[in-house]
Structure 1
């Protein structure tokens, strides 16, 4: 059931990105590092705290002394790193307008200033005397430089993965058997029902327009739903009453951002593994719901008894990886077969 079968069996070599789009040739107006995601905040805090744990070992005589030194260092480091993350997140538009060197300098300088603030808190509470201002600034700048480097590396690592994902999805959109089936359906309708043939070709044109477009990193959910609607309209002509589609959409969820063409493979899988193998067809249900700051997307389909053996799940892995790249720990992906109904559930922050 998890066999995608919507990806082509051949892979074209990824074409090189234009020089201006390569990570090492970023221009002003492109943010090098992002600090506004929850996963990044958690990792940064744990990274700095780990440094404090090790630093507290120097000169500590026993467990009690180590805990005392750790408490003092944490009192300075934790507010400093949180301030750095907060300020760089708030100023990301301003920082993004700077050239690469300026963004690095800004991130490191803010680290030094944040560390001075932490040192000032210790001095104000008389936990340290005299206050190590220069050492604190140097430490803050160094830690900030390491974190900026890690975030820049993470941002660069996303680009080839995103390019590979877009190529895989592009191949899925233009796979020959889908195109041939659609065109054959149109040919069969041209004389008997020309109006339906025209509608089918319009839906096909819209589908390929989205698939071949130069997509961005993320798109609104409403665009993905429109694309799925065009695809299902095409398959509705092909399968007729065997394909039963149910929509349960929440307008409040339509502004959620998700990777482009991420819903399409799930809908195609539902048709491929629910409708095609069943002589009576299947019901494909698409549901969206906003709950607080989270949008839940469900794609379900009934599965005929004794359907084919599960495959390697390429499409599902593709969706899961791209969701993780965009939303990190805030995005969730789940899939399961329950009581003859295959369910895919996505959770997207908004």
Structure 2
């Protein structure tokens, strides 16, 4: 498996890593991460915790955004996720608990050769009124051979890097490499991360259009990105923007489709991120029927997320129309067969992606990721 290390101050890629990592730190400080109020829950005085392993007390590190400033890039995250898909297919398990309006979601994955991990995220509805974060969480990563906890990684931090990293890996495989025009639907934190991630993976992008149901929100995000030397502008007319785009990345909370297949021109790549429940979808039937369809993981997308579950149930598409997932694509399955293909990638997430991402973040923080790896015993 490839290992990726990024050091600030040594190359253009490293400088981009510093910009991306520092932006994550700013998002935490501004308390806008993932659209909810969050606080940094890793404090310097409690960064190392002890646990017993036989008669020996070992230490488990806690990793937050301040540990990664200047050490992570979107290219490195995409590389880590790609490398993770060359390992045996992950075993997955989810658990969802509720107590009135409060929830706890735990997602686990085990990947032979990489390790296993659990990301647990709580949502406590009353916290907002108390001035406390309503969403909090952490991911525990375990050594593959010994089962020892290697690190506790801030949950929202893993989600941040995982979500856009998943999308740009799909685009790196499926989009035309000469793509110059990107359209982003949405104006939240995910949309902003997508602008940075796509610019890192596709440095030739010369135009990034931002559309949102709130034109003011789109204009605000475009202005913020422009202030960071990213060629962004608001797009008031969605149909016109779709017709001009080489890549479309949609990160909305819509239930009814907002993207119509009749608007697309040949050669477009569509990255669908927003839908995550059985009722949500962003693209209409026509778009899916015109495209070569791919997902990040069949197990997490086909029957749980409305983006494909709804058209599968209606007969608009069949399971055989979904040509493959990231495991297939990284194994050499043909994605784009020509410059006029329309390709669709549904980003559905999953604990295996969290684990691949967290594993890279641990290594980027300068910590060993495996007791059995000779490199990590040095």
**TM > 0.5:** no
Larger-gyration structure (1/2)? 1
Q: Which structure: greater strand fraction? A: 2
TM-score normalised per structure 2:
0.27
Q: Which structure: greater helix fraction? A: 1
